Amino acid sequence: MHNLKKYPFWGTILIFVFVLLFFHQAQLFAQEVKEIKIGSLHNWYREDGCEPEHGFLKIQQAGLEWPAQYQDMDCQAAKALWIATSNYTDADQYGGNFFPYKVVHVGPRGWDTEREFMPIEFKMIGRFDHPLVYVDGNPGSELMWSDIIEEVDESLPCDRLIYDVVNTSIGITMTRKIYAWAQQYHDNYFVYEYIFKNTGNVDKDPDIERPDQSLENVYVFFHYRYAVSREGATWTGLNSPRWGINAMLSSRGEAKEDYSFSSYHYTGDYEDWLNGDPDADSLRCQFAWAGKHSSASYDIIGYPNVKYKTGRLSGPQFVGVVTLHADKSATDKSDDPQQPTTTTYQQSDDPPTRPNDQFDASRMADEWKWITRGHRLPRHDEYVGDGFPDQLEGTPGGFSNMNGYGPYQLGPGDSVRLVIAEGANGLNRQLCEQIGARWIKAHNNSADQGPFDLPDGTTTTDEDVYKDSWVMTGVDSLFKTFGRARRNYNVNFDIPMPPPPPSMFEVKSGGDRIRLTWANNAESWPGFAGYRIYRAVAKYDTTYDEIFACGKNTNHPEIVNSYDDTSAVRGYSYYYYIVSFDDGTNNVGSMANPPGELHSSMFWTRTIEPAFLRRQAGDALSKIRVVPNPYNVRAIDFQYPGEPDKIMFLNIPAECIIRIYTERGDLIKTIIHDDGSGDDYWNSTTEYGQVVVSGVYIALFEVTTDYADPQTGEILYRKGEREMRKFIIIR
């Protein structure tokens, strides 16, 4: 360092070179990511064609958030996409070596965007751009920065489409299209359309290195490592549910009726159903949910909230994939009902899941065994039965569902197409609260010992049977989602769409009201009927209540474009969203869509910044108040619900500096108040984010500008004047 200081120019150059090298190395692993957050299911997608472990955020559970209205509903731990072929010789630039089995990979843990899966094009297309949402002049919705649209296409059959092109080192170019809808009956699944084409392009440049290459026994192999859900896994107090060690897995559509394994009986596969057998499986799907855990002291099915004693079920989700179409061959584009040919479940931490190597013949031979395993029966949930999935085969990481499509023969220019939907469903929040509340009362040996109503109309006195039976109805809910996805696909994505949301939504805090205004662009939509406004208190990721509606069949038939929320209470934070709705004439009903009114999604306009009532500046320093005083942590339910550490300063000057000291005079927090109102607040933390302890505190208010009476012009207080208040915090 001393030498660099003597030669500052060369020191700067060396540091610059180091930064460039570091940045280049980071780029080898960096990935462009796009997020879809317009419906009740949210997810992220990478440009190299799959979403591996820690491929976006350095947390185990990230993505497939449902219901995304609430926090930490992530159900995705890792995914992988492998493409395999046999008797393959690498291109010269990769060594020119022969492999009996060649496998290229992205995920579940490793990836190589320079020599294996190489992104070529990655863009988001929207039917319309997201609305502009502002709260007190500031960007106010999550979509303002997460929904980045490169193209607008009004003819798009969905609301969002990600277009992704990736070359691979074996000369197969993958084109992936991801379809997403915000329509209320189709907003909890994504449709993935894949085309795998033998282009002979083995690298990033447009030159075709192997124009005459034929590929034999091509398989496309997907891994799905689900972990339901991040919130629920946290509440268990255990660590391993975060990576899905207790995930229960199952499948449908792969088992012929004559398959026989001990007591397991199968009614027929998907092809049998297509041929008219009503008892056979009508779906080709794999799915997962949160099962029991051997280290838990109670039945954790559904993840009831024991930690905070509410009982609310925080892990009711069922997540999975369904095959909608798979080409029979490169020349026969009809759907092959026997695809996928492999439906298996494998340990998520077994050696083939570790960072992969497309030049390791032995490792690829082991991967080939997984890829071509066929249908693994009995199914995972049948094998586990009433036991603990975390103990199956001594697994340290649980199991992943895996689907393999193939084998396909791909001559030069040949391609095959796969269409898959991924979705989530389960109990809604209201049922999670109701069922969980009754369960925990019985679990804690209270007076509520049943009887408890079961989904089939019978009753039980066993609270675990009650809870688990309701959670397991999520299977039927997920199958309903899969059915809607299939019907949507069968009508070429021609489902009725709701009116668009207002293109502008503004929320402004006022002294006696919160004013909401919005654009009128939706009013030209055929069948447009009106607007509805919803509001939540204290936080945005919670349940909302309708507070206003205008238009057809409402109490306010006249269409308006503004609303004053005069029912807001001082000291509370408020969040809003507005939806446009139609009169139902565009949605007469079909197998893909129940009839009736359609409305725009809450996520288009949901505000994530608070609005609150502001009061006029105080007219005398002597009237300044600290509320509550004393602050008592045991009374937080009666103070500012949802904001437990909030202390308000009322009747303060329009512009002032608020300095907070300990009783012995240590300055711990400075607040600049300059919005012209008479209110501000403190969240009971120091400048360093530490929550303060019990004690006596002093707030010193220093006026930073003269303030005159708005009516008379009389100067009420001047710059530099000060006022002090003592208050008490009890924790």
What pLDDT does residue 295 have?
A: 96
Higher pLDDT pick, 689 / 320: 320
SS (H, E, C) 23-47: HHHHHHHCCCEEEECCCCCEEEEEC
Q: Please count the other Cβ atoms lying within 10 Å of the Cβ belonging to residue 120.
A: 16
What pLDDT does residue 511 have?
A: 73
The predicted model scores a pTM of 0.86
Higher pLDDT pick, 613 / 105: 105
Q: Please count the other Cβ atoms lying within 10 Å of the Cβ belonging to residue 376.
A: 16
Residue 452 pLDDT more than 80? yes
Residue 66 pLDDT more than 90? yes
Residue 15 pLDDT more than 50? no
Residue 386 lies in a domain: yes
* Token pair 């925990």: residue: 440
Computed over every residue of the chain, the mean pLDDT equals: 93
> pLDDT grade, residue 262 (50/70/90)?
low
Residue 595 lies in a domain: no
What pLDDT does residue 351 have?
A: 94
Mean pLDDT value across residues 510-519: 89
Domain with 666 in it: what CATH number? 2.60.40.4070
Question: Same domain, yes or no, for 410 and 540?
Answer: no
Percent share of the chain, pLDDT over 70: 95
Bond prior to 337 in cis (omega within 30° of 0): no
Domain extent at residue 12: 1-30
Question: Same domain, yes or no, for 25 and 149?
Answer: no
What pLDDT does residue 24 have?
A: 36
In total, how many domains does the chain have?
4
Q: Per residue in 16-58, pLDDT tens? A: 333 333 333 343 446 799 999 999 999 999 999 999 999 888 8
Question: Same domain, yes or no, for 579 and 634?
Answer: no
Question: Same domain, yes or no, for 564 and 656?
Answer: no
SS (H, E, C) 247-263: EEEEEECCCCCCCEECC
Q: Per residue in 616-662, pLDDT tens? A: 889 999 999 999 999 998 887 777 877 889 999 999 998 999 999 99
Question: Same domain, yes or no, for 103 and 77?
Answer: yes
Question: Same domain, yes or no, for 266 and 334?
Answer: yes
Mean pLDDT value across residues 317-324: 98
> pLDDT grade, residue 263 (50/70/90)?
confident
Q: Per residue in 208-255, pLDDT tens? A: 999 999 999 999 999 999 999 999 999 999 999 999 999 999 999 999
> pLDDT grade, residue 512 (50/70/90)?
confident
Question: Same domain, yes or no, for 71 and 2?
Answer: no
* Residue among 114, 377, 408 nearest 260 (CA): 377
* Rounded-to-integer distance, Cα 468 and Cα 706, Å: 65
307-311, 430-434, 531-535, 600-604: the lowest-pLDDT one: 307-311
Residue 726 lies in a domain: yes
CA triplet 515, 517, 520: central angle to 5 degrees? 165
- Tell me the β-bridge partners of 699: 660, 725
Q: Per residue in 92-132, pLDDT tens? A: 999 999 999 999 999 999 999 999 999 999 999 999 999 99
Q: Please count the other Cβ atoms lying within 10 Å of the Cβ belonging to residue 702.
A: 15
Exposed e or buried b for every residue in 53-89, given b needs 16+ CB within 10 A?
bebbeeebbbbbbbbbbbebbbbbbbbbbbbbbbebe
Residue 445 lies in a domain: no
Question: Same domain, yes or no, for 716 and 629?
Answer: yes
What pLDDT does residue 30 have?
A: 64
> pLDDT grade, residue 11 (50/70/90)?
very low
Between β-strands 399-410 and 215-226, what pairing exists: parallel, antiparallel or unpaired?
antiparallel
Residue 489 lies in a domain: no
Question: Same domain, yes or no, for 384 and 284?
Answer: yes
258: which residues sit within 8 A by CB, 6+ positions away? none
Cβ–Cβ < 8 Å for 615, 653:
no
DSSP output for 293-355: -TT-SS--TT-B-TTTT---BS---EEEEEEEEEBSSSS--SB-TT--SEEEEEETTSGGGSS
Question: Same domain, yes or no, for 554 and 633?
Answer: no
Domain boundary residue, one of 425, 448, 470? 425
- Distance of alpha carbon 451 from the chain centroid: 36
Q: Per residue in 294-305, pLDDT tens? A: 999 999 999 999
Residue 611 lies in a domain: no
Residue 491 lies in a domain: no
Residue 668 lies in a domain: yes
Question: Same domain, yes or no, for 269 and 323?
Answer: yes
Domain boundary residue, one of 425, 447, 474? 425
What pLDDT does residue 13 have?
A: 39
Question: Same domain, yes or no, for 39 and 145?
Answer: yes
Domain with 513 in it: what CATH number? 2.60.40.10
